């Protein structure tokens, strides 16, 4: 019976490690999206204070654009990024709860 418990604990430990690795991956994604969101905010602020011609970079080319079109584009990108961040935070929370529950189970099993 001890062997079965030990196999079960080994499985739980492995699952916990996978959960923690997934949480780390979400953190990396979240940081990338936060960085991108900050870039969009900075670009929007620059665009608001700009006068005259405005340009956007597409690949290796800078293209003249309409200010209001760029404002709409940045707003849309920001909304998409915020939606992705909410989704990541939700998934991160679910993983955190699952990992906490599994960690508690493991500690309980190992004490006995």
pLDDT at 2: 52
DSSP 31-65: HHHHHHHHHHHHHHHHHHH--S-EEEEETTEEEEE
What tokens appear for 24 in the block? 């780390």
CATH code of 2-111, in short, is 1.10.287.370
Indicate the domain borders of the chain. Answer: 2-111
3-state DSSP percent of the chain in helix, strand and coil, to 5: 85, 10, 10
- What is the Cα–Cα distance from 38 to 47, expressed in whole angstroms? 14
* pTM of this prediction exceeds 0.85: no
For the stretch 25-77, pLDDT in tens is 999 999 999 999 999 999 999 999 999 899 999 999 999 999 999 999 999 99
């Amino acid at each position: 019976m001890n062997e079965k418990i030990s196999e079960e604990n080994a499985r739980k430990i492995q699952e916990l490690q996978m959960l923690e690795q997934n949480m780390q991956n979400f953190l990396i994604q979240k940081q990338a999206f936060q960085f991108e969101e900050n870039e969009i905010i900075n670009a929007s602020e620059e665009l608001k204070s700009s006068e005259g011609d405005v340009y956007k970079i597409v690949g290796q080319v800078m293209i003249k654009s309409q200010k209001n079109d760029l404002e709409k584009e940045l707003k849309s990108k920001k909304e998409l990024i915020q939606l992705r961040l909410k989704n990541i935070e939700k998934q991160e929370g679910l993983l955190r709860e699952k990992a906490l529950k599994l960690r508690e189970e493991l500690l309980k099993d190992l004490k006995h």
